[in-house]
Every structure is written in structure tokens, then in C-alpha cells.
Amino acid sequence: MKIVIAGAGSVGRSVALELLDHGHECTLIDNQPDKLRVASVADADWVLADACSPDALADAGLAQADVMVAATGDDKANLVISLLAKTEFAVPRVVARLNNPKNEWLFDASWGVDVSVSTPRIMTALVDEAVSVGIPVRLFSFNSAEVSMYAIVLPEESPLVGRRIVEVDLPPRTVLTSLLRSGRPITPSDDDIFEAEDELLLLISDLEKNALDTLTRLVEVPEPEVNEEAEEQA
């Protein structure tokens, strides 16, 4: 795939290196000469220009790109770049870096953003995930599809433990995409059995308002039954 990355700072360069390692063709564009450290990503094409300019994006070959990555440190710039990529160049996939979580409401399809990635949000989610068991933690959203990726860790006494995947009725518009077990990813099949401390990765529709509550009730440890007779005798 051909990928254009706006923003050649540490984030943009890291993304380019990863994508090049996966066999993709990358072009980095930035308007600051000190950011153009060509030797650090020697296999990429480099363009010194303002990515908020349609002419600069055209020179970077955006019309032929499969993916646009707006990875600057400026949310306003990333929104403009995303909108241009989608409306002027019809790029199939637009990924935007979200620097300030307070601006998350802007990063949606109306600005041409298919997927927004917030480093602060992901870091917060990873912390929540590390300390939360039995509670869904949102990792990121796919704006164009109105779905989000969630992670949830099964408590040791969860009623799902010991059951086959096919036996569990997940909420509507919810898909179990992967299991993480002892740090190892597993592609779930119907006959796989849930184990304690499994981490479930699920795609959940943003339109299903009760899906998270339903999911939490599915995995949570049931409260112990109270023996009313014993209480009365006491």
C-alpha cells in the first residue's frame, strides 16, 4: 500500500519505520526542515512542504495513496489534513493523531477521519486495563463504522470461565475479535473455553447503548446469596 504521513516528528517517523518493515510504501511530509531527518527513515520518500496545502499533498502523491496518516502535534492541522485527504483526494482510509483528548468530539467522519488515535487516551486505557478486572475499557474508535474496540479481563470467578465461546450470547452488534492469554494472542473459535484472566478484545457498535452494561453483567462475579434464615437466627 502507498501511505502518506503528515508530520515527520518522532511519531511520524516511528509509524513510517513500522509500515516500511511491513512492506508498505511511505512518504513523509513536513514543513519544518529540522524534522526532515532523511537518514533516520532512508527508505521513505520525503517532502518539505505544508501538509495543510492541497498543492503540497498533491506533490506528495496523495491522489494515489491508500492511507493518509495525519500525525502532526497540532490537532487543528490534523483535522484540516484529514478533511482535505477525504474530500479533495478521496483517500480510502484516513487515520488522525489526536493530541488533546478534549478535542475527540471533532475527530469524526464529518472531518474526514476514519480512525483517531490518541496517545494520552491509549495510555489511560492501558492503565485502566492493568488495574481493572471485569470492567470494559475502551481502547479506540473506528469513526466511519461507528464501532469501538474494548478490552475486558475475566475475573477468576466469572461465570464465563469454563464455558465454550459458542455457549455465550454476547450483546447485539458485538464481536469477539481476539483473546489474550498469558500474553499470547488467540484467534477465538466456537470450541475455545474461557479461562480466568483471559483478556477479551471486542468490537462493539456505538449504537448499542446497553451493550457495555450487558457485557459487564455477563462477566462479573455474582454476589454471594444471603441466607435470610441464618441472618434471622443470628
Q: What is the pLDDT of residues 189-209, one digit of tens each?
A: 999 999 998 989 999 998 888
Q: Which of 17, 3, 97, 5 is nearest to 47 (CA)?
A: 5
| Domains of the chain listed by start with CATH number | 2-117 (3.40.50.720), 132-219 (3.30.70.1450)
- Asked if the model's pLDDT at residue 56 lies above 90, the reply is yes
Return the bridge partners of 158, or none: none
Confidence (pLDDT) at 47: 93
The predicted pLDDT at position 223 comes to 67
Beta bridge partners of 141: 116, 148
Residue of higher predicted confidence among 142 and 99: 99
Confidence band, pLDDT 50/70/90 cuts, at residue 133: confident
pLDDT higher than 80, residue 143: no
Residue 218 has pLDDT above 80, yes or no: yes
Does the pLDDT at position 210 exceed 60? yes
For residue 232, the model assigns a pLDDT of 57
User: Average pLDDT, stretch 36-50?
Assistant: 90
- Residue 178 pLDDT more than 80? yes
Mean pLDDT of all residues in 17-21 = 89
- Count CB neighbours of 161 within 10 A: 17
Instruction: Tell me which residue of 186, 191, 197, 212 sits closest to 157, measured CA to CA.
Output: 197
For 158, other C-beta atoms within 10 Å of its C-beta total 23
Residue 184: which pLDDT band, with cuts at 50, 70 and 90?
confident
H helix or E strand, kind and range, residue 12: helix 10-21
The average pLDDT across 213-232 equals: 72
Return the C-alpha cell found at 174.
458485538
Supply the pTM of this predicted model: 0.63
Residue 173, amino acid = R
Per-chain mean pLDDT for the chain: 87
**More confidently predicted of 1 and 141:** 1
What value, to the nearest 5°, has the Cα angle with vertex 201 and ends 196 and 206? 130
Sheet holding 67-70, edge to edge: 45-48, 25-30, 2-6, 67-70, 93-98, 115-118, 137-142, 147-153, 199-205, 174-181, 184-186
Specify the pLDDT at position 51.
95
* pLDDT given at position 126: 55
